[in-house]
Amino acid sequence: MANTDFETVMGLEVHAELSTKTKIFCSCPTEFGAEPNTQVCPICMAMPGTLPVLNEKVVEYAVRAGLATNCTISKDSKNDRKNYFYPDTPRAYQISQYDKPLCEHGYIEIEDDNGNPKRIGITRIHIEDDAGKLNHNEFNGGALVDLNRAGVPLIEIVSEPDLRSVGEVDRYLKKLKSILEYIEVSDCKMQEGSFRADVNVSVKRKSSKEFGTRTEMKNMNSFRAITRAIEYEAGRQIDVIENGGKITQETLRWDDVSGKTFSMRDKEDAQDYRYFPEPDLVAIRLSDEYIENIKKSLPEMPESRRERYINQFKLSEKDAKLLTASKYLSNMFEAAEKICGNGKAVANWLLSDVSRILNEKELEPVAIPFTAENLAKLIELIDKGTISSAIGKKVIEELFENPKDPEEIIKEKGWIQISDEGAIMEVVQKVLNNNPQSIQDYKAGKDRALGFLVGQAMKETKGKANPQMLNKMFLEELNK
User: Is 69 within 8 Å of 61 (Cβ atoms)?
Assistant: no
Identify the band that residue 465 occupies on the pLDDT scale cut at 50, 70 and 90. confident
Q: Is the pLDDT of residue 389 over 60?
A: yes
53 inside domain: yes
Residue 222 makes CB contacts below 8 A (sequence gap 6+) with 190, 256
Residue 23 DSSP SS3? coil
Q: What pLDDT digit, counting tens, does each position of 277-326 carry?
A: 999 999 999 999 999 999 999 999 998 999 999 999 999 999 999 999 99
383 and 451 belong to one structural domain: no
Q: What pLDDT digit, counting tens, does each position of 32-72 carry?
A: 989 999 999 999 999 999 999 999 999 999 999 999 999 99
What does the pLDDT read at residue 1?
A: 41
295 inside domain: no
1 inside domain: no
CA dihedral of 61, 32, 54, 57, whole degrees rounded to 10: -30
DSSP secondary structure code for residue 30 in this structure? -
249 inside domain: yes
193 and 76 belong to one structural domain: yes
The CA distance from 403 to 256, in Å, is 33
Determine the angle formed by the axes of helices 166-182 and 327-340, rounding to 10 degrees.
60
| Count of structural domains, the chain | 3
Evaluate the CA torsion angle 245, 247, 251, 253 in order and state its sign.
positive
How many percent of the chain have pLDDT more than 70? 98
Q: What pLDDT digit, counting tens, does each position of 74-91 carry?
A: 999 999 999 988 888 999
163 and 307 belong to one structural domain: no
What does the pLDDT read at residue 4?
A: 74
283 and 353 belong to one structural domain: no
241 and 207 belong to one structural domain: yes
Q: What is the CATH number of the domain that holds 433?
A: 1.10.10.410
376 and 452 belong to one structural domain: no
274 inside domain: yes
244 and 268 belong to one structural domain: yes
Residue at a domain's end among 290, 312, 342:
290
57 and 196 belong to one structural domain: yes
The per-residue pLDDT of the chain, averaged, comes to 91
352 inside domain: yes
Nearest to 306 by CA among 287, 334, 279: 334
Q: Is the pLDDT of residue 411 over 90?
A: no
396 and 433 belong to one structural domain: no
The CA distance from 195 to 187, in Å, is 8
Residue 308 — φ and ψ, nearest 5°?
Answer: -65, -40
Q: What pLDDT digit, counting tens, does each position of 187-214 carry?
A: 998 888 899 999 999 999 988 888 999 9
54 and 197 belong to one structural domain: yes
268 and 322 belong to one structural domain: no
Q: What pLDDT digit, counting tens, does each position of 103-157 carry?
A: 999 999 999 999 999 999 999 999 999 999 988 877 677 888 999 999 999 999 9
Domain containing residue 108: 6-290
What is the pTM for the complete model shown?
0.82
11 and 123 belong to one structural domain: yes
Nearest to 450 by CA among 422, 476, 420: 476
Residue 122 — φ and ψ, nearest 5°?
Answer: -110, 115
Residue 253 — φ and ψ, nearest 5°?
Answer: -115, 130
Strands 260-266 and 250-255: antiparallel
Q: Is the pLDDT of residue 232 over 60?
A: yes
Residue 98 — φ and ψ, nearest 5°?
Answer: -110, -80
Strands 250-255 and 215-220: parallel
360 inside domain: yes
Residue at a domain's end among 413, 438, 470:
413
End-to-end CA distance of the chain: give it in Å, rounded: 62
Determine the angle formed by the axes of helices 406-413 and 389-401, rounding to 10 degrees.
110
- How many CB atoms lie under 10 A from the CB of residue 378? 28
75 inside domain: yes
Residue at a domain's end among 413, 432, 456:
413
